[in-house]
Structure 1
């Protein structure tokens, strides 16, 4: 199998990870493009002795940690301190990198240690630190758009266990729009295919027309969001999900939302 054939099926998931890591699909895709350009220039940057997905994510991290796709143009970079500060504010700390790799991407601790180039025993410590940070995040109100009762109850429990409040649980696009009529949620968890045939994607677009809010899509149909354009700002979790995956996504979504609010 050619290198291109090995990489192609992995790219949608790498895009998802890049978005979660950088806080923006545009920034995430910029790093993915940079990685692909580097591979075209030199296939040797991928260790062919490694499992392909581990090698791809390891190479991605090398690009991400050494490049800045948001760097100011030379004539705008007079204040170096400001540029560095902006860069650091958008960097996902290594403990959260470890959590995203294991909880969201499903890598083992050993695989995550290879990707991050850290000692294997350190990954568990990093993950524990990230989970502690998430537990300490400021509470917010969460709107859940989900038509399957058991799943919505699971999500409600996860939200409450994290110390957040369930603002409302709705099952259609119209109900979602009505729910935001009174107040703005701090986070939205949304399915794609809803009870009456309406779309969670359209519901989120309606919400974005009113205000900006972090969104996590939780769906059995990830292909609808892993290819082409999708609403910003969004994260993506595939059903069936683990509680740890949802917890990691909520923590990361609120992490970037807090950064953006502080910079506003």
Structure 2
């Protein structure tokens, strides 16, 4: 009646000391998942999350680490991009400059990843400008906008032939650092800074490197709460909001 099923835990990326604690990997999959959080939970209590009841898109970019003699096991890292929330857990509006900063972070990460494939066969040089986002629109409208936004970046990574994507077999140097909030897993930094991913070119060393305050060392479960740990993502954005021209163009499409 029952069959035994072996479930193996997927191993996370492991920094390579031979690469200065960078990793070498390749994109394994790029997809857009459509998810939904019920408006009411099992007890009939209405969710306060602004996207509850909406079908919202999630861009998923899965990386697989290149194997070495010292690291022969399958290892994966999954990067996800989701619609930015404009309300906090209390249902209160998040400050406008904070919302814009987060959108800028997401755009910067995706653009940085996509730029590594420029010049390769099949790269959509005529993809046009990035679609606009209106962070003041109703949640359902924003979900539609984010779907178009994520489809744009998926196209830059995959190209027109999904069976033979641009990213296939393209090796990348990757910088993964301790997550800023928990320090319990490795992830891409939130800010691009001097880069966190770079296409491998034979004979050339990687130019990306760790910034001050970034670390690969993770906090243990029993570590004191006040334990000093470097950020894997930057601290919350400072008071001044500096909006890049690319982001301003995305926002301006709905402000006129």
- TM-score band, normalised by shorter chain: under 0.3
Higher percent of residues as strand? 2
Structure number with higher helix proportion: 1
TM-score by length of 1: 0.26
- State the TM-score, normalized to the length of structure 2: 0.27
